[in-house]
Homo-oligomer: A and B are copies of this chain.
Amino acid sequence: MKENKYDDPQFFEQYSKMSRSVQGLGGAGEWHELKKLLPDFAGKTVLDLGCGFGWHCRYAAEQGAESVTGVDLSEKMLKKAEEMTLSPNIRYVHSSIEEFPYSEDSFDVVISSLAFHYVESYAEVCRKIFNSIRENGSFVFSVEHPVFTAQGKQDWHYGPDGNPLYWPVDHYFTEGYRQAVFLGSEVVKYHRTLTTYLNVLTETGFSLGRVVEPQPDPAMLDLPGMKDELRRPMMLIIQAQKPSPGPRRETSR
């Protein structure tokens, strides 16, 4: 059984109060960058892995997606997603990302927002996505940045006056299990290096597009604590593509 912290009532209540939960995409500090990396959704078949409240699913549908499948392990999240969804083009599936029944050549676009750092088997999931995505299909996802996940506790090193002195990095090349504190609860996450995030994609067959460490939207910099977000990267957005066959680009090895 995959860990399902989002169905823990206390954690869910805390998560529901975050600005990204209340305001949706406009309340997410990275949305202004993620948005630029998304493909044209018109007429596309879209899969959203770890869809949560469904904000990205509804965005894809509003942008003309023909059908959108949102997958999440949390029943509480999906219940709220369904309440907020009117479009008949969106369906929600209760499943972990690992256990979702990926069928071959089924999606034009696969997206995932801040979910893969909860997934232990990233390489396996990438292979499933690659098989499930059509040629020239787009795969765009965000994760917590390796600098953010490496040390484990996901907190600043504070000075004697209680101000954050700097962000501690440790155990960078030791991938895997981390016990982090998020919204006052202990949450299991999986750290991976940047090298792994990118090279698993190329080894699986994807070609890399843009790689972006989003800075907060300048319009949000006056929110409490937001300026500290300029001191270390917190997120990583990766854009990849399943190439069409034909002459493959040569990459020396």
Contacts and interface: CB of A to CB of B under 8 A. Distances in A.
A231 B194 contact: no
Interface string A167-178: 111111110000
A23 B62 CA distance: 61
A166 B157 CA distance: 10
Contacts of A165: 168, 170
Contact of A172 (B36, B195, B230): B230
A231 B166 contact: no
A2 to B, nearest CB: 28
Interface in A133-184: 136, 138, 147, 150-151, 157, 165-174
Contacts of A169: 147, 166-169, 231-232
Contacts of A157: 157, 166, 168
Given A210-B202, A239-B251, A170 B166 contact: yes
Interface stretch (A64-72, A82-90, A211-219): A211-219
B241 A249 contact: yes
A27 interface: no
Contact of A209 (B40, B230, B251): B251
A37 interface: yes
Nearest to A40: B252
B231 A171 contact: yes
Contacts of A147: 147, 169, 172
A105 to B, nearest CB: 19
Contacts of A95: none
B172 A233 contact: yes
A199 interface: yes
Contacts of A174: 230
13 contacts: A147-B172, A150-B232, A157-B168, A165-B170, A169-B232, A172-B233, A193-B233, A195-B211, A195-B213, A202-B209, A208-B208, A209-B252, A239-B251
8 nearest A-B pairs in the assembled complex, by CB-CB distance = A39-B252, A166-B168, A166-B170, A167-B169, A209-B251, A173-B230, A195-B213, A208-B208
